[in-house]
Amino acid sequence: MADINEELRVLVTAEVDKAIKNLKSVDRQTDATEKLFKSLGSSIAATFSVKAVVNFASQSVKAYNDQKRAVEVLNSVLESTGATAWTSSTELQEMASSLQKVTNYGDETILSMHQVLLGFRNIKGDNFKEATKAILDMATVMKMDLSSAAQSIGKALDDPIHGMDSLKKQGFNFTEAQKKVIQSFLDAGDAASAQKIILDELNGTFGGAAEAAADSATQIKNAFGDMQEGIGEFLSGFVNNKVGEAIVNGLSFLGEAFGSFHDNIAFLKAIK
Per-residue model confidence (pLDDT) at position 241: 57
pLDDT in tens, 241-265: 555 555 555 555 555 555 444 445 4
Per-residue DSSP letters for the chain? -HHHHHHHHHHHHHHHHHHHHHHHHH-S-HHHHHHHHHTB-HHHHHHT-HHHHHHHHHHHHHHHHHHHHHHHHHHHHHHHHTGGGT--HHHHHHHHHHHHTTSS--HHHHHHHHHHHTTSTT--HHHHHHHHHHHHHHHHHHT--HHHHHHHHHHHHHSHHHHGGGGGGGT----HHHHHHHHHHHHTT-HHHHHHHHHHHHHHHHTTHHHHT--HHHHHHHHHHHHHHHHHHHHGGGTT-HHHHHHHHHHHHHHHH-B-HHHHHHHHHH--
Is the sign of the CA dihedral 45, 46, 52, 57 positive or negative? negative
Query: How high is the mean pLDDT of the chain?
Result: 79
Rg (CA), the chain: 28
| C-alpha pair distances (Å), 15 with each of 23, 32, 115, 191, 253 | 12, 19, 52, 70, 12
**10 Å Cβ neighbour count for 50?**
13
Per-residue confidence at 83, pLDDT binned at 50, 70, 90? very high
Q: How confident is the model at residue 229 (pLDDT cuts 50, 70, 90)?
A: confident
> What's the confidence (pLDDT) of residue 256?
53
pLDDT reported for residue 254: 52
Give the pLDDT score at 197: 94
Q: What is the pLDDT of residue 155?
A: 95
The pTM for the full model equals 0.70
What is the distance between the alpha carbons of residues 216 and 80, in angstroms, rounded to a whole number? Answer: 37
Look at residue 80 and tell me whether its pLDDT is greater than 70. Answer: yes
Lowest mean pLDDT across 12-26, 161-175, 221-235: 12-26
Q: Give the whole-angstrom CA distance, residue 10 versus residue 253.
A: 10
Higher pLDDT, 51 or 127: 127
pLDDT band at 235 (very low <50, low <70, confident <90, very high): confident
96 and 61 in contact (C-beta within 8 Å)? no
The region of weakest confidence among 28-42, 46-60, 94-108, 124-138 is 28-42
Q: Which amino acid is at 247?
A: I
Q: Which of 2-6, 56-60, 129-133, 263-267 has the highest mean pLDDT?
A: 129-133
The count of C-alpha atoms lying within 13 angstroms of the C-alpha of 256, restricted to the half-sphere facing its C-beta, is 13
> How large is the average pLDDT for residues 193-215?
95
Q: What is the mean pLDDT of residues 227-247?
A: 68
So what's the pLDDT on residue 26? Answer: 46
Per-residue pLDDT, 204: 93
